Amino acid sequence: MRTRLPVVAGVVALVAVGLLPPAVSVGASTTATRTDFDGNGTSDVAIFRPSTGGWFVQGGLSTTWGTTGDVAVPGDYNGDGRTDVAVYRPSDQSWFVQPSGSFPAGLTTQWGVTGDIPVPADFNGDGRTDIAVFRSADQTWYVQGGIATQWGKPGDVAVPGDYDGDGDADVAVFRPSDQTWYVQGGLSTQWGAAGDVPVIVPYATRLMY
């Protein structure tokens, strides 16, 4: 008769011998959990329907927010641990964050110029998603109320993310020509082959890719 190691015990054993990294707790407002609409710490299965501005979270909210042409830019803009429904309107660079129970006023703001790509992320690490755009023309990142920094070269794709795990989003680009990832103030690493597309490209970027 064979005996099986319980799965949990097996994972613990693998961690103990260094074959698996220990679990890392992730803050509710990081980009890793940007679709946690109910704030329970797990990402929700959710879709955005561009044709109607419909948002549908499995087992959760169903709402209409946005109109044809808008792009989804969900994020935790008020830092309450729940992802907020939000859209960016490329035609006039308006941002609309839907009011919710813990965010009654919502948020409406204009940020960007024609052609900018929205790259919302928590760049200053305060737990709130920051309104931000990447300007392909001069490869400059503009964070509302924060930094403006040039990072990238023509043709680069904005791929913000917390690459060093310190809790704030890092300015970073992927260069299709040499498949190299350049993180501002951090590492540069080659990963990919010609024609590859970075997985983490934000939804809004994909539309404009």
Binding site for Ca ion (CB under 5 A): 76, 78, 80, 82, 84, 122, 124, 126, 128, 130, 162, 164, 166, 168, 170
- Whole-number minimum distance, CB 147 to Ca ion, in Å? 11
- Whole-number minimum distance, CB 28 to Ca ion, in Å? 9
Which residue number, 27 or 176, has a Cβ lying nearer to Ca ion? 27
Which residue number, 27 or 50, has a Cβ lying nearer to Ca ion? 27
Neighbours of 146 (CB within 10 A): 14
- Whole-number minimum distance, CB 124 to Ca ion, in Å? 4
Which residue number, 157 or 172, has a Cβ lying nearer to Ca ion? 172
- Whole-number minimum distance, CB 35 to Ca ion, in Å? 12
Cβ-proximal residues to 209 (8 Å cutoff; 6+ apart), any chain: 157, 197, 201
HSE-up of 167 (CA within 13 Å, CB side)? 8
To 5 degrees, how large is the angle CA 100–CA 117–CA 114?
105
- Whole-number minimum distance, CB 173 to Ca ion, in Å? 15
Answer for the pair 182, 152: CB distance below 8 angstroms, yes or no.
Answer: yes
Which residue number, 70 or 122, has a Cβ lying nearer to Ca ion? 122
- Whole-number minimum distance, CB 177 to Ca ion, in Å? 25
Answer for the pair 49, 56: CB distance below 8 angstroms, yes or no.
Answer: yes
Beta strands in the chain (DSSP E): 46-49, 54-57, 62-64, 71-72, 86-89, 94-97, 107-110, 117-118, 132-135, 140-143, 148-150, 157-158, 172-175, 180-183, 188-190
Answer for the pair 71, 207: CB distance below 8 angstroms, yes or no.
Answer: yes
Which residue number, 40 or 52, has a Cβ lying nearer to Ca ion? 40
Give the residues across from 157 on adjacent strands.
Answer: 174
Which residue number, 1 or 105, has a Cβ lying nearer to Ca ion? 105
